[in-house]
Amino acid sequence: MNDGFRAAALKFGLFAIVAILIPVFAPGYVLQQVAIAIAYAIAILGLNLLMGFAGQICLAQGTLFGVGAYVTAILNATYGLSPLVTLPASAAVAAAIGLVIGLPALRLQGLQLAIVTFGIAAAFPQLLLKMGSLTGGVSGLPIDAPEAPSFLSDRPELWLYIIALTCAGLGALLVSLMLFGDNVRSLRAQRDNPQIAQALGVNLTRTRLWAFAASSALAGLGGGVFGIISGFISPESFLAILSINIVIGSIVGGVTSIVGAFLGGLFMVFVPTWASDINLSLGNLIYGLALILIMMVARNGVTGFIEKWLSMTFRRMASSRRQIETREELI
């Protein structure tokens, strides 16, 4: 068993333990906030796939997140469907829109693509207001709470947490399958050098479009989960700054990490709140300083820092073991 596999196993083991212990110690309100952070993490997970592995910049992830939330809200409020039943539709509609957004990626790269996608994010709230007959306009749309099992009837926050964690687990499994074998090699090849990748037989059009579609589907799924947890959505929930915050969450957690997406979601939800609690008037300044500090200490994200520390620890343990074995042989 190599050090990389052991580090990954330990990382996921610790994550599973934390996920189980959170409902034990967190009060209801905090547990609901964690569930919202997990909903953001699903969108960050999609952005990690697109930005970290495919090398494509998208500043419209918040828009796709909002699309998923509104699909869930419209199907529930207008057509009476159960919120949980609408989640596949939220992912599918967001994936279809993501394909359209991904078309410029076939021609544009870097800053140009970032500007185009951010323009979409800036226009999205205004579009929601213009489509008020469908989206509810400024008034927004309510979303019914999914009926909890009888044994969780007195803890609705725990039920919402389980829903969010289940959807996030499915999203993480999907990304893990996508990053297996030839798929991840194709993604990395076209990210690092598109000309050489194309010469080696990688279909750049197909690779980039399916990366955008998969990333968008995860954003839509996260948006649907967010709508269910919040119980109400409006255009104010999906301003352009949300897309920026999702990118920040991706960078903080680690753009090539699955577990990092969840750390990024927690950062998005809790750090601004803690900063405001320290000093309300200086909340944004404290938040910015915290972000700068993390980037200085962990340039590859928090998970990159943890992986580096674990790797160093395992190397030291292996070195100590070899020294002990050498001494025993000498004796």
Residues 283-310 have pLDDT tens digits of 677 777 777 777 777 667 777 777 677 6
Beta strands per DSSP E along 217-325: 232-233
> Rounded to 10 degrees, what is the CA torsion of 239, 35, 259, 238?
-10
Look at the block and give the residue holding tokens 């959170």.
22
Please give the C-alpha separations between residue 46 and each of 135, 186, 187, in angstroms, as whole numbers. Answer: 25, 17, 14
Q: What is the DSSP letter of 172?
A: H
Residue 38 CA neighbour count, 13 Å, CB half: 26
User: What are the structure tokens assigned to 167, written together?
Assistant: 């959807």
Per DSSP, which regions of 134-269 are E strands? 141-142, 232-233
Q: How many domains does the chain have?
A: 1
- The set of residues, in sequence order, having a beta carbon less than 8 Å from that of 329 and lying 6+ positions away, is none
Is 48 in contact with 255 (CB distance < 8 Å)? yes
The C-alpha atoms of residue 13 and residue 280 are separated, in whole angstroms, by: 37
Please state the rounded mean pLDDT for residues 68-72: 96
Confidence of residue 35 (pLDDT cuts 50, 70, 90): very high
DSSP 152: G
Q: d(Cα 84, Cα 81) in Å, to the nearest integer? A: 8
Q: Does residue 201 or residue 34 have the better pLDDT?
A: 34
Q: Tell me what the pLDDT averaged over the chain comes to.
A: 84
> b vs e for 263-289, b when ≥16 Cβ sit within 10 Å of the residue's Cβ?
bbbbbbbebbeebeeeeeeebeebbee
Task: Indicate if the pLDDT at residue 211 is higher than 80.
Answer: yes
Q: Are the CB atoms for 191 and 109 separated by under 8 Å?
A: no
Identity of the highest mean pLDDT range in 91-100, 181-190, 317-326: 91-100
Give me the count of residues in the chain. 331
Task: Give the pLDDT confidence score for residue 189 in this predicted structure.
Answer: 76
Q: Which domain holds residue 42?
A: 3-330
Please give the model's pTM, rounded to 2 decimal places: 0.88
Q: What is the CATH number of the domain that holds 263?
A: 1.10.3470
Side chain identity at 291, as an amino acid letter? L
CA–CA distance, 186 with 208 (Å, rounded to integer): 10
The sign of the CA dihedral 97, 100, 106, 111 is negative
Q: Which residue bears the tokens 């829109």?
A: 97
Compute the average pLDDT of residues 180-200. Answer: 73
- Determine the average pLDDT of the residues in 178-195: 74
Looking at the DSSP bridge assignments, the partners of residue 233 are 141
Q: How confident is the model at residue 331 (pLDDT cuts 50, 70, 90)?
A: low
Task: Please give the backbone phi and psi of residue 232, each rounded to the nearest 5 degrees, phi first.
Answer: -165, 140
**Both structure tokens of 80:** 């009476």
